[in-house]
Amino acid sequence: MNQTTDILVARGLRKSFGELEVLKGIDFSLRQGELVFVIGPSGSGKSTMLRCFNRLEEPTEGSVTIDGVNLMAPGVDINSMRRQIGMVFQQFNLYPHLSVSRNITLALRKVLKRSASQAEETAREMLEMVGLEEKADAYPGELSGGQQQRVAIARAVALEPKVMLFDEPTSALDPELVGSVLQVMRKLRDSGMTMVVVSHEMRFAREAAGRIVFMSDGEIIEEGTPDQIFENPSHRRTREFVAEISR
């Protein structure tokens, strides 16, 4: 394995909220083009870990490196780094006061300083990719949950990130809307996007993930291929968790 192809490297990541230690020393690395699934019980620190990866949450200790740049280094331009780390949230978090198109163009114009027409062109391409080109002028409130989440993905991808972080992207969706979002994620992976996905969509994990990471209690307990983790986990806690969610 060639070290230089690691897009994201976290070393000794710790995070405490007051007395509560939520991350207890996470070591994690992600290769270019890889899709890693993160699973684990609720409260085990999955969201916190993702949010430390772009410093939405300030780690108490440890380092995060994106494509060779240490996010923790003093003087690092965190905004320009965050633009390179796309994030998709469980609750979509589209801007309700802006049209779909303007949701996508805002950061293109303010962070990447693209012209209005360039930004709009990009937005159109992105919406086409997620199959919503006819919704450019709609407002988030007029869209279904699945459509909103696809716009949220388009908003992140438009910034040409080096890695995409998904925090339970389908958990807030009605079951019949999940498929359309997974379809977009599949498309992204096929285009070579590097992705970390926190999700319990087992079928998608089996089909799409190169690696599964099992977290519990703020630690990475075990990682491996989908087959290893789902069919033949080596830890008791992994086994119990997999049995729980496969029911």
Partner 1 sequence: MNRWDLFIETFFRPDLIEKYWPDIAGGVVVTVQVAVLVVLTGIALGLLLAMIRSYSLRGVNLVLVVFVDVMRSLPPLVLILLFYFGLPSVGILLPSFAVLWLVLSLVLAAFAEEIFWAGILSIRKGQWEAARSTGLSFSQTLTFVIVPQAVRMTVAPLTNRTIAITKNTALGTVIGVSEILNQATTAQSFSGSATPLMMGGIAYIVLFIPIVIAGRWIETRFAWRRA
17 binds, among ligand ADP, partner 1, Mg ion, none (CB under 5 to 8 A by kind): ligand ADP
Residue 212 CB, shortest distance to partner 1, in Å, is 24
Is 83 a binding residue for partner 1 by CB under 8 A? The answer is yes
Spatial distance between the Cα atoms of 129 and 134, rounded to a whole number of angstroms: 12
Report how far Cα 170 is from the mean position of its chain's Cα atoms: 12
**For the chain, what is the total number of helices (H) and then of strands (E)?**
9, 10
Nearer to partner 1, 103 or 216 (CB): 103
Of 54, 147, 149, 238, the one binding partner 1 by CB under 8 A: 54
Nearer to ligand ADP, 46 or 211 (CB): 46
Of 12, 27, 61, 97, the one binding partner 1 by CB under 8 A: 97
99-138 mask for partner 1 (x: CB under 8 A)?
Answer: -------xx--xx---------------------------
83-to-108, 137, 204, 235 alpha-carbon distances in Å: 9, 24, 27, 37
Residue 84 CB, shortest distance to partner 1, in Å, is 8
Phi and psi angles of residue 178, each rounded to the nearest 5 degrees, phi first: -65, -40
150-to-18, 128, 131, 183, 236 alpha-carbon distances in Å: 36, 11, 8, 10, 36
48 binds, among ligand ADP, partner 1, Mg ion, none (CB under 5 to 8 A by kind): ligand ADP
Nearer to ligand ADP, 33 or 41 (CB): 41
Residue 13 CB, shortest distance to partner 1, in Å, is 18
Q: Is 123 left (phi over 0), alpha (psi -120 to 50) or beta?
A: alpha
Nearer to partner 1, 109 or 239 (CB): 109
Q: 154: number of CA atoms within 13 Å, CB side? A: 32
Is 47 a binding residue for Mg ion by CB under 5 A? The answer is yes
Please tell me what DSSP assigns to residue 171: T
Is 152 a binding residue for partner 1 by CB under 8 A? The answer is yes
Return all residues near 120 (Cβ < 8 A) that are at least 6 apart. Answer: 101, 105
Report how far Cα 26 is from the mean position of its chain's Cα atoms: 17
Is 56 a binding residue for partner 1 by CB under 8 A? The answer is yes
Interface with ligand ADP by CB under 6 A: which residues? 17, 20, 22, 40, 42-48
Of 13, 22, 64, 87, the one binding partner 1 by CB under 8 A: 87
Alpha helix stretches (DSSP H) within the chain = 46-53, 78-83, 100-110, 116-129, 145-157, 175-190, 202-208, 226-231, 236-246
Q: Which residues bind Mg ion (CB under 5 A)?
A: 47
Q: Which residues bind partner 1 (CB under 8 A)?
A: 51, 54, 56, 79-87, 89, 91, 93-97, 106-107, 110-111, 152, 155-156, 159
